[in-house]
Amino acid sequence: MQLEQTIRAELAQPGKDILLMTHIVLGYPSLAVNRQVIKQMVANGVELIEMQIPFSEPMADGPTIVRANQEALEAGTTVKECLAFAAEMAREHDTTFLFMTYFNILYRYGVEAFFRKAKEIGIKGFIIPDLPPEEEEEFWQLARQYEIPPILIYAPTSTAQRMQELAASAEGFIYCVARKGVTGKQTDFDASFADYMARCRRSTTLPLAVGFGISCREDITFLTGHADIGVIGTATINLVDAQGPEAVGPFIAGLR
Protein backbone atom coordinates (compact mmCIF):
# COMPACT_ATOMS: atom_id res chain seq x y z
CA MET A 1 0.00 0.00 0.00
CA GLN A 2 1.01 3.61 -0.49
CA LEU A 3 1.93 4.33 3.15
CA GLU A 4 4.93 1.98 3.17
CA GLN A 5 6.14 3.42 -0.13
CA THR A 6 5.84 6.96 1.23
CA ILE A 7 7.84 6.06 4.35
CA ARG A 8 10.58 4.37 2.33
CA ALA A 9 10.78 7.34 -0.03
CA GLU A 10 11.20 9.69 2.93
CA LEU A 11 13.90 7.49 4.46
CA ALA A 12 15.76 7.46 1.14
CA GLN A 13 16.24 11.23 1.25
CA PRO A 14 19.72 12.45 2.25
CA GLY A 15 20.11 12.99 5.98
CA LYS A 16 16.89 11.22 6.93
CA ASP A 17 18.07 8.39 9.13
CA ILE A 18 14.83 8.37 11.12
CA LEU A 19 11.39 9.91 10.61
CA LEU A 20 9.20 11.63 13.18
CA MET A 21 5.57 10.83 13.88
CA THR A 22 3.66 13.04 16.30
CA HIS A 23 0.39 12.45 18.12
CA ILE A 24 -2.38 14.90 18.92
CA VAL A 25 -5.79 14.43 20.53
CA LEU A 26 -8.36 16.20 18.40
CA GLY A 27 -10.28 18.79 20.37
CA TYR A 28 -7.68 19.08 23.13
CA PRO A 29 -7.28 21.73 24.26
CA SER A 30 -9.29 22.86 21.21
CA LEU A 31 -9.38 22.34 17.48
CA ALA A 32 -8.03 25.88 17.10
CA VAL A 33 -4.93 24.92 19.12
CA ASN A 34 -4.68 21.62 17.21
CA ARG A 35 -4.55 23.70 14.04
CA GLN A 36 -1.65 25.81 15.36
CA VAL A 37 0.23 22.76 16.60
CA ILE A 38 -0.09 20.84 13.33
CA LYS A 39 1.12 23.87 11.36
CA GLN A 40 4.27 24.01 13.51
CA MET A 41 4.82 20.27 13.32
CA VAL A 42 4.69 20.27 9.53
CA ALA A 43 6.85 23.40 9.25
CA ASN A 44 9.53 21.72 11.36
CA GLY A 45 9.73 18.50 9.40
CA VAL A 46 7.34 15.99 10.96
CA GLU A 47 6.66 13.30 8.36
CA LEU A 48 3.62 11.61 9.92
CA ILE A 49 0.91 12.93 12.24
CA GLU A 50 -1.33 10.63 14.23
CA MET A 51 -4.67 12.33 14.94
CA GLN A 52 -6.54 10.68 17.81
CA ILE A 53 -10.32 10.83 17.71
CA PRO A 54 -11.23 11.09 21.41
CA PHE A 55 -12.89 8.13 23.12
CA SER A 56 -14.21 7.70 26.65
CA GLU A 57 -12.10 4.61 27.47
CA PRO A 58 -8.70 4.96 25.77
CA MET A 59 -7.20 1.77 27.20
CA ALA A 60 -3.72 2.05 25.63
CA ASP A 61 -3.15 5.59 26.81
CA GLY A 62 -1.50 7.00 29.91
CA PRO A 63 -2.79 9.72 32.26
CA THR A 64 -1.95 12.71 30.07
CA ILE A 65 -3.66 11.39 26.95
CA VAL A 66 -6.57 9.95 28.94
CA ARG A 67 -7.16 13.40 30.42
CA ALA A 68 -6.89 14.98 26.97
CA ASN A 69 -9.51 12.54 25.65
CA GLN A 70 -11.83 13.26 28.58
CA GLU A 71 -11.52 17.03 28.29
CA ALA A 72 -12.01 16.96 24.52
CA LEU A 73 -15.22 14.97 24.99
CA GLU A 74 -16.40 17.21 27.83
CA ALA A 75 -15.88 20.20 25.54
CA GLY A 76 -18.26 18.58 23.05
CA THR A 77 -15.81 17.34 20.41
CA THR A 78 -17.66 15.04 18.00
CA VAL A 79 -16.54 12.48 15.44
CA LYS A 80 -18.13 14.63 12.73
CA GLU A 81 -16.02 17.62 13.81
CA CYS A 82 -12.88 15.47 13.88
CA LEU A 83 -13.49 14.23 10.34
CA ALA A 84 -14.10 17.76 9.07
CA PHE A 85 -10.95 19.00 10.81
CA ALA A 86 -8.89 16.12 9.39
CA ALA A 87 -10.15 16.94 5.90
CA GLU A 88 -9.06 20.56 6.38
CA MET A 89 -5.60 19.54 7.59
CA ALA A 90 -5.06 17.07 4.73
CA ARG A 91 -5.98 19.78 2.21
CA GLU A 92 -3.66 22.35 3.75
CA HIS A 93 -0.57 20.33 4.63
CA ASP A 94 1.67 18.08 2.60
CA THR A 95 2.33 15.41 5.19
CA THR A 96 1.01 11.97 6.08
CA PHE A 97 -2.02 11.90 8.37
CA LEU A 98 -3.28 8.83 10.20
CA PHE A 99 -6.26 8.26 12.48
CA MET A 100 -5.77 6.69 15.88
CA THR A 101 -8.86 5.73 17.86
CA TYR A 102 -10.70 2.76 19.34
CA PHE A 103 -12.96 0.39 17.46
CA ASN A 104 -16.17 1.56 19.13
CA ILE A 105 -15.82 4.87 17.25
CA LEU A 106 -15.85 3.05 13.90
CA TYR A 107 -18.60 0.67 15.00
CA ARG A 108 -20.95 3.49 16.03
CA TYR A 109 -20.20 5.54 12.92
CA GLY A 110 -20.47 2.54 10.61
CA VAL A 111 -17.27 0.76 9.70
CA GLU A 112 -17.54 1.04 5.92
CA ALA A 113 -18.85 4.61 6.13
CA PHE A 114 -15.82 5.49 8.25
CA PHE A 115 -13.43 3.92 5.74
CA ARG A 116 -15.18 5.69 2.89
CA LYS A 117 -14.93 9.05 4.63
CA ALA A 118 -11.29 8.54 5.62
CA LYS A 119 -10.40 7.64 2.02
CA GLU A 120 -12.19 10.75 0.77
CA ILE A 121 -10.32 12.92 3.28
CA GLY A 122 -6.90 11.49 2.44
CA ILE A 123 -6.12 9.56 5.64
CA LYS A 124 -3.23 7.15 5.01
CA GLY A 125 -3.59 4.64 7.86
CA PHE A 126 -5.53 3.55 10.95
CA ILE A 127 -4.13 2.70 14.38
CA ILE A 128 -6.85 0.87 16.34
CA PRO A 129 -5.08 -0.59 19.40
CA ASP A 130 -8.04 -2.59 20.71
CA LEU A 131 -8.65 -4.51 17.46
CA PRO A 132 -6.52 -7.63 16.85
CA PRO A 133 -6.53 -9.23 13.39
CA GLU A 134 -8.57 -12.20 14.65
CA GLU A 135 -11.64 -10.01 15.22
CA GLU A 136 -14.02 -7.95 13.05
CA GLU A 137 -13.26 -9.55 9.70
CA GLU A 138 -15.16 -6.76 7.94
CA PHE A 139 -12.58 -4.21 9.11
CA TRP A 140 -9.66 -6.09 7.57
CA GLN A 141 -11.52 -6.64 4.30
CA LEU A 142 -12.37 -2.94 4.11
CA ALA A 143 -8.78 -1.98 4.87
CA ARG A 144 -7.74 -3.83 1.71
CA GLN A 145 -10.68 -2.53 -0.33
CA TYR A 146 -10.08 1.12 0.58
CA GLU A 147 -6.28 0.76 0.72
CA ILE A 148 -6.01 2.26 4.18
CA PRO A 149 -3.38 0.23 6.02
CA PRO A 150 -4.12 -1.18 9.47
CA ILE A 151 -1.11 -0.43 11.68
CA LEU A 152 -0.53 -3.28 14.10
CA ILE A 153 1.35 -3.19 17.37
CA TYR A 154 4.25 -5.18 18.78
CA ALA A 155 5.05 -5.17 22.50
CA PRO A 156 8.08 -6.41 24.44
CA THR A 157 5.90 -9.30 25.63
CA SER A 158 5.03 -10.39 22.05
CA THR A 159 6.39 -13.82 21.17
CA ALA A 160 8.15 -14.47 17.87
CA GLN A 161 5.11 -16.43 16.69
CA ARG A 162 2.73 -13.61 17.61
CA MET A 163 4.91 -11.05 15.84
CA GLN A 164 4.81 -13.13 12.67
CA GLU A 165 1.02 -13.52 12.95
CA LEU A 166 0.58 -9.76 13.30
CA ALA A 167 3.01 -9.04 10.47
CA ALA A 168 0.90 -11.18 8.15
CA SER A 169 -2.03 -8.75 8.57
CA ALA A 170 -0.11 -5.47 8.95
CA GLU A 171 0.49 -2.87 6.26
CA GLY A 172 2.36 0.42 6.15
CA PHE A 173 4.54 -0.04 9.22
CA ILE A 174 4.59 -1.79 12.59
CA TYR A 175 4.17 0.25 15.76
CA CYS A 176 6.59 -1.11 18.36
CA VAL A 177 5.65 -0.26 21.93
CA ALA A 178 8.92 0.59 23.67
CA ARG A 179 7.94 -0.90 27.02
CA LYS A 180 5.14 -2.55 28.96
CA GLY A 181 2.27 -0.37 30.13
CA VAL A 182 0.56 2.71 28.72
CA THR A 183 1.76 5.90 27.03
CA GLY A 184 3.53 8.73 28.78
CA LYS A 185 5.99 7.17 31.21
CA GLN A 186 9.67 7.69 30.41
CA THR A 187 11.29 4.72 28.68
CA ASP A 188 14.73 3.41 29.66
CA PHE A 189 16.73 2.12 26.71
CA ASP A 190 19.03 -0.75 27.57
CA ALA A 191 20.34 -4.03 26.17
CA SER A 192 16.92 -5.67 26.50
CA PHE A 193 15.42 -2.95 24.31
CA ALA A 194 18.02 -3.59 21.61
CA ASP A 195 17.23 -7.31 21.77
CA TYR A 196 13.52 -6.54 21.47
CA MET A 197 14.07 -4.35 18.41
CA ALA A 198 16.18 -7.08 16.83
CA ARG A 199 13.25 -9.49 17.32
CA CYS A 200 10.94 -6.96 15.70
CA ARG A 201 13.26 -6.65 12.69
CA ARG A 202 13.44 -10.40 12.23
CA SER A 203 9.65 -10.74 12.18
CA THR A 204 8.75 -8.30 9.39
CA THR A 205 10.05 -6.42 6.39
CA LEU A 206 7.83 -3.41 7.17
CA PRO A 207 9.29 -0.19 8.60
CA LEU A 208 9.29 0.01 12.39
CA ALA A 209 7.98 2.90 14.48
CA VAL A 210 8.76 3.14 18.20
CA GLY A 211 6.59 5.00 20.68
CA PHE A 212 5.66 5.17 24.39
CA GLY A 213 7.93 7.43 26.42
CA ILE A 214 9.90 9.03 23.56
CA SER A 215 10.38 12.60 24.67
CA CYS A 216 13.70 14.20 23.68
CA ARG A 217 16.57 14.42 21.19
CA GLU A 218 18.55 11.81 23.12
CA ASP A 219 15.73 9.30 22.69
CA ILE A 220 15.53 9.93 18.94
CA THR A 221 19.30 9.65 18.65
CA PHE A 222 19.23 6.30 20.43
CA LEU A 223 16.42 5.02 18.21
CA THR A 224 18.29 5.92 15.03
CA GLY A 225 19.54 2.66 13.58
CA HIS A 226 17.05 0.62 15.60
CA ALA A 227 13.82 2.11 14.25
CA ASP A 228 12.62 3.91 11.14
CA ILE A 229 10.18 6.25 12.92
CA GLY A 230 10.25 7.82 16.38
CA VAL A 231 6.82 8.61 17.83
CA ILE A 232 6.36 11.68 20.03
CA GLY A 233 3.02 11.92 21.84
CA THR A 234 2.68 12.84 25.49
CA ALA A 235 5.71 15.13 25.40
CA THR A 236 4.09 17.57 22.97
CA ILE A 237 0.79 17.56 24.85
CA ASN A 238 2.63 18.38 28.09
CA LEU A 239 4.57 21.10 26.28
CA VAL A 240 1.41 22.77 24.97
CA ASP A 241 -0.11 22.60 28.46
CA ALA A 242 2.95 24.19 30.05
CA GLN A 243 4.14 26.68 27.43
CA GLY A 244 1.44 27.02 24.80
CA PRO A 245 1.30 25.88 21.16
CA GLU A 246 4.06 28.24 20.05
CA ALA A 247 6.60 26.06 21.91
CA VAL A 248 5.97 23.05 19.66
CA GLY A 249 7.96 24.27 16.65
CA PRO A 250 11.30 24.75 18.45
CA PHE A 251 10.81 21.46 20.31
CA ILE A 252 10.25 19.48 17.11
CA ALA A 253 13.13 21.25 15.36
CA GLY A 254 15.47 20.17 18.16
CA LEU A 255 14.64 16.47 18.03
CA ARG A 256 16.97 15.60 15.11
Q: Is 61 an active-site residue?
A: yes
Catalytic residue among 50, 171, 219, 228: 50
CB 109 within 8 A of CB 79: yes
Q: Is 50 an active-site residue?
A: yes
CB 19 within 8 A of CB 48: yes
Task: Compute the Cα dihedral for 98, 100, 106, 109 and give only its sign.
Answer: negative
Q: How far apart are the first and last CA of the chain?
A: 28
The closest of 161, 124, 162, 160 to 143, measured between CA atoms, is 124
Distance CA 157, CA 198 (A): 14
Catalytic residue among 4, 10, 17, 61: 61
* Alpha carbon separation from 120 to 26, 147, 152, 204, 224 (Å, rounded): 19, 12, 23, 30, 34
Residues belonging to the active site: 50, 61
